[in-house]
Amino acid sequence: MFNIILFGPPGSGKGTQSEKLIFKYELKHLSTGDLLRSEIASQTELGLEAKKFMNKGELVPDEVVIGMISSALENNPHSKGFLFDGFPRTEAQAAALDQLLKFKQTEIGVVLALQVCEEELIKRLLNRGLTSGRPDDNNGEVVKARIIEYHKKTSAVADYYRRFDKVVEVPGEGTVDEIFESLCAEIAKRKP
């Protein structure tokens, strides 16, 4: 099993690159953002609670997302590996993920960290807001709040994995295919 974390600030291209990576490496895509939006669409209790945080650009409480990931891992016992997208977003989530993977006798193979400058992130997010229908994308204040949350809580996740020498920084600007090639080259160096 080879498990990847695709890491980076909001708007860094995690969703786009995830689609290509899961196809090439036959991984199960676990995006907490997508899982939460599907809970909102189904109007579950969890979704209604999560929506309050998401619409403000704040992180949803750790126990909520950890619970979702734990069930997703349980529900995919035969996967060749997982691609985590938008998770973990706090150190507590990273520690919980390590524990969950340990139970499955596996671990994170690599953390691919997409590098994109702030100006470009804001541009991409507002642009996506024109068509995505995501309420957290078309409001400049919410976009800024998400980037602040990233610096305050999520960037520490990279430091956590740096301790285990698992982080590789990859340029997130350029064409979709160029970025994909860089990601694949890094995976090739680490994947058994």
List of residues contacting ligand ADP (CB under 6 A) = 10-11, 14, 32-33, 36, 53-54, 57-60, 65, 86-87, 89, 93, 136, 146
Residue with Cβ nearer ligand ADP (33 or 172): 33
CA distance 134 to 61: 20
In whole angstroms, the minimum distance from the beta carbon of 62 to ligand ADP comes to 7
Residues 6+ apart with CB under 8 A from 66: 92, 93, 96, 97
Residue with Cβ nearer ligand ADP (78 or 121): 121
CA distance 36 to 121: 22
Q: Which of 169, 186, 156 is nearest to 89 (CA)?
A: 156
SS3 121: helix
User: What's the token pair of residue 80?
Assistant: 């060749």
In whole angstroms, the minimum distance from the beta carbon of 72 to ligand ADP comes to 12
In whole angstroms, the minimum distance from the beta carbon of 36 to ligand ADP comes to 5
Residue with Cβ nearer ligand ADP (43 or 105): 43
Q: How many helices (H) and strands (E) does the chain have?
A: 9, 5
Residue of minimal Cβ distance to ligand ADP: 33
In whole angstroms, the minimum distance from the beta carbon of 44 to ligand ADP comes to 15
Residue with Cβ nearer ligand ADP (32 or 79): 32
Q: Please, what is the Cα angle at 47 between 42 and 48, to 5 degrees? A: 105
Asked if 12 and 114 count as a contact pair (C-beta separation under 8 A), the reply is yes
Residue with Cβ nearer ligand ADP (25 or 53): 53
In whole angstroms, the minimum distance from the beta carbon of 95 to ligand ADP comes to 13
Element (H, E) at 79: none
